[in-house]
Structure 1
Amino acid sequence: MAPTTRRRALTTLGAALAGSVAIPAYAQAGERGHHPRPRPLVRAHAHNDYEHPRPLYDALDHRFNSVEADIYLVDGQLLVAHDPVDLDPTRTLESLYLDPLAARVRAQHGSVYRGFHRTPFQLLIDIKTEGASTYAELHRHLRPYRRLFTTYAYGKVRRSAITAVVSGDRAARAPMEAQKVRHAFYDGRLSDLGTAAPASLIPLISDNWTLNFGWQGTGPMPAAERDKLRGIVSAAHARGQRVRFWATPDLPGAQRDAVWGELLAAGVDHLNTDDLAGLEAFLDAHAR
């Protein structure tokens, strides 16, 4: 689909999102036949989720437990888009994500995936405009939904159905650190690993695969790079932090599968992809 056509199709979603949230087909079958519901894929992260034909819904239908939304602050609204040319006033953070997630939680009795309260759904919010001012507006927009979101309050973390993690422009960090109460957390980088910043601020460590590893899935992974990867994961997990890499190979084939296999073996928490069906099939095959 051409970008202009895709954007036009996406703008029709606003009315649908305002109503009830459709339960995926696999969940409906489980309800009718009382068969076990397939578990959410807790390691599956939808990169640039909003570029799919049905933002959020496509990821949920493929059982993803993490999605990414890029936001721009425009006249007090948080608009979701990858580039400024794609900005559309109907495509807000509320219409594409906050309202449908709230409806999903209400429909499924307190969890995006009913029965899996121990694994909050992750909403990764990538700030594309100036970080401090955009985060201040994001905090204001999250407050009406605060019971849905994992919250940091006066030194303690209260887990809920959804955890928001703020990425993108790094100027958001200082105002977040200063808050006594916040409804979002900060996406760290490898440079934050092992610093004094606690998991109550930085629960997620993300970085660019290509800037840290030369191996792209051809042939065996070099032993030194495998050791480095596993060391990163071990260090993060010891501090209660999760690990994600972006810019991993994402074209179907042996190279992508090899990289995904090494990420799984190392214990990386989120596998990043634009190919929802491809990662779903890969994770299901490995679970078997």
Structure 2
Amino acid sequence: MNDNGATFAGGLAGLAGVAGAVSIGNTLLRRPGPYLPAAHAIASPRAADPLPGVLRLGLGGLTVPVTPGPHGELFLGPGGPQPGHTLRRLVLTPLFARAKTRGGRLARDQQVPFRLVVEFVGANREPETLLRAYQMLDQQLRDHAALLSHCDGNTLVPGAVTVSVAGIVDVRELLAAQRKRYCFADGTFDDLGSRSAPPTLVPMISEPWGRRFGWDGREPIPAEERHLLHAMVRSAHDDGRTVRISGLPEGSRRARRAVWTELGAAGVDVIADGDQHGLVRHLRRHPVSRWVPRAPLPTRAVRRSSPRPNAPRPERRHEPV
């Protein structure tokens, strides 16, 4: 599942010729830390400018809450629109400008896409408003098509950045109708084996920890929960998808490290947390385990359509993005 470095490198080779030098400001030009694809930041609703710190620390992804505003524009945070505080100005423009000035990569050692999760939030759930907001996002992304992971027919092509849409807007039907799309739907473990949500539409499984697990890191993890975690991650990998876990338990740094350690040992591809500095320090010392064949584990909470414990493991069908 994680052996996609060569494919990604090949996909980026053609991006090196992207023309145009773009100035991105002194903050983003500061030398970042080593690129950590498993480290994923969750922007605080109160964050005035969430991207510079993420890039400086070398995190491999960011989840940003957005609210539709006038003319379909997307504003950061759940509150009322603030002038200039838009996804385009504070996230998309500087993120792709950085990739252009670095030959199609966000960092010299980047081997997998930066995962940007655009999470629609807020009280406004009018279908017309959400549709207009998605159309605006789609247009803004197509302006940077050469740098984006995309799906062309049934083929996933990795790029410097992979964008997923989550939250209150359901974009699956819209995306499925697009032969060539530049963003994807966020999925859950319930999508494993689903024909209506293939990896070309839902390449990443994203769930909060508390949806299926109760362990908070204060005591040793129960053997049953550990086995379940490994089984679910393996089922997702066998289905050609990456796994992102968010909503981690609040607690002491020691308890958080225990949770991060278990997620890394299970091969969770993306660990999402608001404690960016702590997560980065931990993953530099304890990288996420590469997936290797192991003894069968219980799969009771995984959908029946997922591989049975004793069934032959299927070949990976798609290169993950």
Q: TM-score range by the shorter chain?
A: 0.7 to 0.9
Matched with 1:123 is 116
Matched with 2:92 is 98
Greater CA drift, 73-82 or 87-96: 73-82
Question: Structure 2 matches for 1:115-154, cutoff 5 A?
Answer: 115-116=109-110, 118-128=111-121, 130=125, 131-154=130-153
Deviation, 1:220, is 1.2
CA distance in 2, matches of 1:51, 1:273: 15
Does the CA-based 8 Å contact 2:69-2:75 persist in structure 1?
no
For structure 1, which runs of at least 5 residues remain unmatched after alignment?
Answer: 1-17, 28-37
Change (3 A) 1:122 1:50: farther
Deviation, 1:251, is 4.1
Q: Does residue 1:109 correspond to 2:97, yes or no? A: no
Deviation, 1:222, is 0.8
Q: SS state of the match for residue 234, structure 2?
A: helix
Matched with 2:71 is 76
Higher strand share: 1
Deviation, 1:158, is 2.2
CA distance in 1, matches of 2:75, 2:62: 13
Deviation, 1:238, is 0.9
Matched with 2:170 is 171
CA distance in 2, matches of 1:228, 1:132: 37
Greater CA drift, 150-159 or 124-133: 124-133
Change (3 A) 1:218 1:252: closer
Does the CA-based 8 Å contact 2:114-2:160 persist in structure 1?
yes
Matched with 2:272 is 272
Aligned match for 2:53, one of 58, 63, 82 = 58
Does the CA-based 8 Å contact 1:46-1:276 persist in structure 2?
yes
Q: CA-to-partner distance for each residue in 1:19-64, whole Å, 9 max, x for gaps?
A: 424345445xxxxxxxxxx530110011126644542110011110
Change (3 A) 1:51 1:115: same
Q: SS state of the match for residue 248, structure 1?
A: coil
CA distance in 2, matches of 1:76, 1:45: 30
CA distance in 1, matches of 2:217, 2:29: 33
Deviation, 1:134, is 2.8
CA distance in 1, matches of 2:139, 2:152: 16
CA distance in 2, matches of 1:120, 1:107: 16
TM-score normalized by the length of structure 1: 0.83
Matched with 2:247 is 247
Matched with 1:185 is 184
Question: Structure 2 matches for 1:14-29, cutoff 5 A?
Answer: 19-22=23-26, 23=28, 25-27=30-32
TM-score normalized by the length of structure 2: 0.75
Q: CA-to-partner distance for each residue in 1:173-193, whole Å, 9 max, x for gaps?
A: 111111111110111012112
Greater CA drift, 141-150 or 129-138: 129-138
Matched with 1:231 is 231
Does the CA-based 8 Å contact 2:45-2:78 persist in structure 1?
no
CA distance in 2, matches of 1:97, 1:50: 14
Q: CA-to-partner distance for each residue in 1:214-254, whole Å, 9 max, x for gaps?
A: 11112111111111111110011112211112211244422
Matched with 2:304 is none
Structure with the greater relative contact order (CA < 8 A, sep ≥ 6): 1 or 2? 2
**What amino acid is aligned across from residue 62 of structure 2 in structure 1?**
V
Q: Does residue 1:262 correspond to 2:266, yes or no? A: no
Q: SS state of the match for residue 37, structure 2?
A: strand
Higher helix share: 1
Change (3 A) 1:43 1:62: same
CA distance in 2, matches of 1:214, 1:54: 33
Aligned-pair Cα RMSD in Å: 2.1
TM superposition outliers: structure 1 runs of 4+ over 3 Å: 21-27, 49-54, 129-133
Does the CA-based 8 Å contact 1:150-1:162 persist in structure 2?
yes
